[in-house]
Every structure is written in structure tokens, then in C-alpha cells.
Amino acid sequence: MSIFRFNFDKTLILLISIFHALSGSSNHQHPVNTTHRQLRRNDDGHFYYFAFGSNLLKERINVNIPSAQFVSIGRLQNYKLVFYGNSSNWHGGLASIERRRGAKVWGCIWKVPNSFARALDRQELLYRRLDVDIKQPLSHHRRKVRCRTYQYKNPEVGKQRPSPHYKHVIVTGAQEHHLPDSYIERLKKIKTNAYRGRVKVRLELLRRFRQRG
């Protein structure tokens, strides 16, 4: 009986030691490392969206996604900014991207709740969804973020100039989020179709724009 008790005690001590060893390793706190892989998983119920058109402007993106959070500015490599089609809402061409070696498009990275994914898709009805890697030049580690963005579905309709209203929203959004000055100057030089009527998009910015004449 004493031998059995001795062996039982030894076994119990061994099991307790193993349990504490495992518990200690699982409770060890590692520093948070926000890697590219972690950003792509979007475990927190959000996704990252790269805006380069009218959604550069906070007032504009908040129309459909009031809880969108600005993360940082970003740069899409080997793409250029173009304008396609003739939007009935904006009365002119819509911003899109097309591949161009060595070119770059600047924009905003927004953090968007997954619950607003369909709302964003509806706003971008004339676009197809793309996943792109966006550089964050101003971040400490200059890491890339995997973002959702949108590209015009039917480029065969041809390139068209944007309306002054649409251009004004894009330029103001770029200024609001401090995109590089050289890029803002390029945006300012975009030629418009000189449309002088009203657009269907309701923004305080555009109300003031109309009043200015």
C-alpha cells in the first residue's frame, strides 16, 4: 500500500509540473506585431479600403459608411488615375485606376466595418472589387496593407473628363488628408468637362461650391 501511495504521489507531482509548464507558456505575453498577414485576416470585424476618388473626402465616405475610420494615407504602385464613363450622379467621368508601370496613385486607407461591405459595393456599382497592396510611406515600418479597392468595370466606354464638382471633391479630400503636395497639384491640373448644373450627390462641400459660382 505504501509503495502504491509513493508511486501515485510521484505521478501526481509530475502531472502538476507538466500542467504548470504548459500554462506558463500559453500565458506568456508576446508583443503585438501587426504584420501584413494579420492585416489581411481582419479578425476584428473590419476590412481596409483604399480610396482614391470622391471617398477621399470624409464627408463623402460618411454618407454611406458613417463609421469609417481614417487609418493613413497610402500609395498604390504601378497604377495611374484615370476617368471613365459618364455618371448620371456626377455628370462626368468617374475615377478609376489602370496599370501603368512606374506610375503611382495616392489615396486614403479607411478601416470599414464588415457590416458596411455591401453598402460600399452598392456605392461602387459600376466597379469591380480588387485586392491591392498599399504602401504606407509615413508609417514607422513602412509596411504594406492589403486593401479592398475598386476599378471601373467597363473601360471600353471610353475615358471622359470629370465634372468640376467631382474634381472639387477629390482635390478637397486630398488636401483634407494631406496627400503629397506634388500629387495634389497634379489633381488640380485635371481638366473637367465644364459642367455648370447640379449634381445628384448632396454634400455641404458642394453646396458651398455652387454658391461660389
The ranges assigned to domains in the chain are 37-212
Distance CA 69, CA 85 (A): 29
Mean pLDDT of 159-181: 99
> Residues marked as binding for substrate?
49-54, 166
Annotated catalytic, 98?
Answer: no
Distance CA 177, CA 12 (A): 63
Q: Which residue has the cell 470585424?
A: 45
Mean pLDDT of 12-27: 40
Class of the domain covering 37-212: alpha beta
Range picked from 6-15, 26-35, 140-149, 153-162 for highest mean pLDDT: 153-162
Task: Extract the C-alpha cell encoding 70.
Answer: 481614417
pLDDT-derived band at 170, boundaries 50, 70, 90: very high
The confidence score (pLDDT) of residue 141 equals 64
Mean pLDDT of 28-32: 30
Distance CA 73, CA 139 (A): 9
> Residues marked as binding?
49-54, 166
The confidence score (pLDDT) of residue 138 equals 77
**Choice among 124, 156, 185, 204 that is catalytic:** 124
Closest CA to 124 of 26, 191, 192, 51: 51
